[in-house]
Chain A
């Protein structure tokens, strides 16, 4: 894992001291809210419905046990005993007092963490594939490049006041687990025919009120050009992005209005002027960062396979968990374990302080002291020996962390919604809970197979509803919550924005509506191998609309 150098430590500590002073001045009345608001936002402090909220960055989703213990400690000491893992690989605390914020940031700095650039019109926390550095299908670990981008973008003087927020995601496998095509910049790390590493570069993706799939503007960008090319993109955006209308200020609108060809031309022209400047990365600098992310020295553990076979046979629940939540590792004696934060009927993404401590303990002992946070609001143990799966499972089971539903219908993404968020128009979490309860029976989930439901409580789409196989958007209509359904969205390498089915459903109707869609899918799929998305792509919306609206009409 990356370790802060002297500069990083000094930089983060200086920011904590600065914010401490700003909070004191605010509480003393020397700063007005108007003056203070942008300052607190730059340090991740929002105001929600019930209290302040602190959003802490987890760069590219990677945490050590010590860091996770610290997050647990903060939840216990400064909050209400839990935290919420978000779709941007952050953690949010929902109840901290303003006066405690400097102390919390001090605690975070002591474990090389911060809340910088988790808000504001700057380059936000850089996200990455949560299986990075471990997945068997990976071409190369994207995290060194995410770290390079983090360092480059932190307090970047030119890019601290962009027209709007700016999000970068990086993946290192052909299977896109980081949803790069719905980011402002998406980078796909890959090898060319000569075996050299480089990036396919996508720009202008995003969700929110105007969802767009990113456009590929370069098929192969050599590693050494990462920062110069990224600078060129952000510079063109900074110059030409719209500042007159908040809703049209993201780069996706600029790309859309300018046209891909023209924007590519502008980026390339800008790049030509800077490509051989200081930001061109010498290989030794890349290697220095790369070193922090080397595959740990994992001992051979071939005995695991026979043990696993015995344990699977003896315990169907364990077998189900292994099938669903353990994915192939680069080292065949190991697996990548997804810890579901989606217990049946639970709150997606929430973890108690005790659960965080438990995960940290398990990681320290059984996963080379590494944890990942996924944009799907789960946790990941990236390096678990097959031989240790049983004991890890048993430990997870002690605190409700062994739900065998990764990628299934109850593994739902949901934003905090109107239960917490000042921007929301409708609740998300209770809808997720009711869907989870409706489909929670293990055999039923297994029969339905891979199906991603994503729920947002407002048009800002933090719950990624546009790329849900079934997406749900909560709106407010005549004082009531109303839920709009979209189908066929996908945030993976074949990225699509879901199609809205038609009129929305009330809170009472929405779970039945989802069940109607699922039942129709089960009727029309060719066989169990054809998952929901494939069926939707084959048949389109018609059979589902028919099920939703004609049957409703008939019933009425």
Chain B
């Protein structure tokens, strides 16, 4: 079933971020706050407006994701690429951080 999370880009460096369950903006989609019904989605949208006002992020969007086991899988390719990095440069973006973290 498709559920929603809130994503944006961080003001200072433009990095893709997701709103976490703890109210912080996270560098990775894992741990993002998941909205499963209309009220929760409305709350996400409100949180997005507040975040823009508080000047932390820009380009805030509610996106569709699927819960696959413990992972969140964005339905649109665009969002999957934002989540990982350019598909043609696996050494760049979040996928690279994850790889180097795994390697370490």
> A residues bordering B, Cβ < 8 Å?
26-27, 29, 33, 47-52, 80, 95, 97-99, 347, 418-420, 422, 424-427, 429-430, 433, 476, 479-481
Chain A residues near B15 (CB, 8 Å)?
50-51
Task: Give the residue name and chain of the A residue nearest to B56 (CB).
Answer: A29
A98 near B14 with CB under 8 A, answer yes
**A-binding segment of B18-26, B31-39, B41-49, B79-87:** B79-87
**Chain B's nearest CB lies how many Å from the CB of A177?**
28
**Chain A's nearest CB lies how many Å from the CB of B15?**
6
Chain A residues near B13 (CB, 8 Å)?
51-52, 97-99
> B residues bordering A, Cβ < 8 Å?
9, 11-16, 52, 55, 58-59, 75-78, 81-82, 85-89, 92-93
**Chain B's nearest CB lies how many Å from the CB of A416?**
9
Chain B residues near A479 (CB, 8 Å)?
75-77
Chain A residues near B87 (CB, 8 Å)?
419, 427, 430
B86 near A481 with CB under 8 A, answer no
Chain A residues near B93 (CB, 8 Å)?
50
State the CA gap A519–B13 with chains docked (Å): 47
Chain A residues near B86 (CB, 8 Å)?
50, 419-420, 429
Given A52-B14, A427-B87, A430-B88: A47 and B9 interface contact (C-beta under 8 Å) = yes
State the CA gap A418–B58 with chains docked (Å): 19
A50 near B88 with CB under 8 A, answer no
In the A-B complex, list the 4 residue pairs whose CB atoms are closest, starting with the nearest: A52-B14, A419-B86, A51-B14, A97-B13
State the CA gap A479–B66 with chains docked (Å): 14
State the CA gap A347–B78 with chains docked (Å): 19
Task: Give the residue name and chain of the B residue nearest to A427 (CB).
Answer: B87
Chain A residues near B16 (CB, 8 Å)?
49-50
Task: Give the residue name and chain of the A residue nearest to B13 (CB).
Answer: A97
Chain A residues near B77 (CB, 8 Å)?
418, 426, 476, 479-481
**Chain A's nearest CB lies how many Å from the CB of B53?**
8
State the CA gap A479–B15 with chains docked (Å): 24
State the CA gap A425–B79 with chains docked (Å): 11
Chain A residues near B58 (CB, 8 Å)?
33, 47
**Chain B's nearest CB lies how many Å from the CB of A98?**
6
Chain A residues near B55 (CB, 8 Å)?
29
**Chain B's nearest CB lies how many Å from the CB of A83?**
13
State the CA gap A426–B76 with chains docked (Å): 11
Not counting A26-B11, A98-B11, a sample of 8 additional A-B residue pairs whose C-beta atoms are within 8 angstroms of each other reads A47-B58, A51-B9, A98-B13, A99-B13, A418-B77, A418-B81, A419-B86, A422-B59
Given A33-B52, A47-B59, A51-B15: A418 and B9 interface contact (C-beta under 8 Å) = no
Chain B residues near A27 (CB, 8 Å)?
11-12
State the CA gap A424–B82 with chains docked (Å): 12
State the CA gap A425–B12 with chains docked (Å): 26
Task: Give the residue name and chain of the A residue nearest to B78 (CB).
Answer: A418
State the CA gap A422–B82 with chains docked (Å): 10
**Chain A's nearest CB lies how many Å from the CB of B100?**
14
Given A27-B12, A50-B93: A433 and B88 interface contact (C-beta under 8 Å) = yes
Task: Give the residue name and chain of the B residue nearest to A416 (CB).
Answer: B86
Chain A residues near B92 (CB, 8 Å)?
50, 80, 95
State the CA gap A433–B86 with chains docked (Å): 14
Chain B residues near A480 (CB, 8 Å)?
77
Chain B residues near A424 (CB, 8 Å)?
78
Q: Determine which residue in B12, B16, B52, B86 has the highest number of CB atoms from chain A within 10 A of its CB, and name it.
A: B86
A98 near B78 with CB under 8 A, answer no
B78 near A49 with CB under 8 A, answer yes
B12 near A99 with CB under 8 A, answer yes
Task: Give the residue name and chain of the A residue nearest to B15 (CB).
Answer: A51
State the CA gap A422–B93 with chains docked (Å): 15
Chain A residues near B81 (CB, 8 Å)?
49, 418-419
**Chain B's nearest CB lies how many Å from the CB of A485?**
20
Q: Determine which residue in A29, A50, A98 has the highest number of CB atoms from chain B within 10 A of its CB, and name it.
A: A50
State the CA gap A336–B9 with chains docked (Å): 44
Chain A residues near B52 (CB, 8 Å)?
33
Chain A residues near B88 (CB, 8 Å)?
347, 419, 427, 429-430, 433
A50 near B82 with CB under 8 A, answer yes
Task: Give the residue name and chain of the B residue nearest to A37 (CB).
Answer: B58
**Chain A's nearest CB lies how many Å from the CB of B59?**
6
Chain A residues near B85 (CB, 8 Å)?
50
State the CA gap A49–B17 with chains docked (Å): 11
Chain A residues near B89 (CB, 8 Å)?
347, 419
State the CA gap A76–B39 with chains docked (Å): 47
State the CA gap A347–B91 with chains docked (Å): 14
19 pairs across A/B with beta carbons < 8 Å? A26-B11, A29-B55, A47-B58, A50-B15, A50-B82, A50-B85, A50-B86, A50-B93, A52-B13, A95-B92, A98-B11, A98-B12, A418-B81, A419-B81, A420-B86, A476-B76, A476-B77, A479-B76, A481-B77
**Chain A's nearest CB lies how many Å from the CB of B35?**
20
Chain B residues near A427 (CB, 8 Å)?
87-88
**Chain A's nearest CB lies how many Å from the CB of B84?**
9
State the CA gap A213–B70 with chains docked (Å): 53
**Chain A's nearest CB lies how many Å from the CB of B65?**
13
Task: Give the residue name and chain of the A residue nearest to B85 (CB).
Answer: A50
Task: Give the residue name and chain of the B residue nearest to A30 (CB).
Answer: B55
Q: Determine which residue in A420, A430, A480 has the highest number of CB atoms from chain B within 10 A of its CB, and name it.
A: A420
Given A33-B52, A419-B88, A433-B88: A49 and B82 interface contact (C-beta under 8 Å) = yes
State the CA gap A480–B80 with chains docked (Å): 12
State the CA gap A426–B87 with chains docked (Å): 12
State the CA gap A424–B86 with chains docked (Å): 13
State the CA gap A482–B93 with chains docked (Å): 25
Task: Give the residue name and chain of the A residue nearest to B58 (CB).
Answer: A33
Given A49-B82, A427-B87, A430-B88: A97 and B59 interface contact (C-beta under 8 Å) = no
